[in-house]
Structure 1
């Protein structure tokens, strides 16, 4: 698997983990009193986000994307559903 395809895969998985954290784990914590949900989902999402950032740097450093695109993709990764917009570009 090349760097760009690996980036797309990690981006997609990280996007789903963010949505699970926001729309499943957070309600379980605050509405259901199940704090462990955010610890588990947050840890998984944190690891995936670090992998996303690393892979974003790799595709940038190998010339697949420009500095402007890399910055834009990073900002999109902070917004819910932003990761899925990255995949469409």
Structure 2
């Protein structure tokens, strides 16, 4: 059986980092495109970036939900990571501080300590 916990080498964690970065970048570009749309009357940027950002937003929320469930994140961290999705630069913070290396694992030294922090259970291999 394979380890499905969100660790440093996990493809899910790598995807979450990439999507977090892309979502924050697309949000900033969408804000710039919105300014151009109303300031210079050129709506093409919003028409292109809107659906891209919407898809990245949904992917970010789904990946955060998955990592929070599998990694047994504290409820506060999960809520803050989801709130970060609606703030222009906050997903950069999530990627930098919670999704790098083993920061997403509850038993890592960079994970927050507290009463609602639970250790990640390791699956055991069956012996024949």
Higher-Rg structure is 2
TM-score (norm 2): 0.63
Find 1:81's aligned residue among 83, 89, 94: 89
* Structure 2 partner of 1:54: 62
Q: Structure 1: any 5+ residue segments left out of the alignment?
A: none
Mark the runs of 5 or more structure 2 residues left unpaired by the alignment.
Answer: 1-9, 98-128
Q: Is residue 2:20 matched to residue 1:11?
A: yes
> CA separation in 2, counterparts of 1:58 and 1:13?
18
What RMSD over aligned residues (CA atoms) do the two structures have, in Å?
1.4
Aligned residues: 88
Give 4+ residue runs of structure 1 displaced > 4 Å after superposition: none
Q: How far apart are 1:36 and its partner, in Å?
A: 2.2
Whole-angstrom distance in 2 between the partners of 1:2 and 1:43: 25
Q: Quick check: which one's helix share is greater?
A: 1
TM-score (norm 1): 0.88
The higher-RCO structure (CA 8 Å, 6+ apart) is 1
Structure-1 separation of matches of 2:12 and 2:72: 9
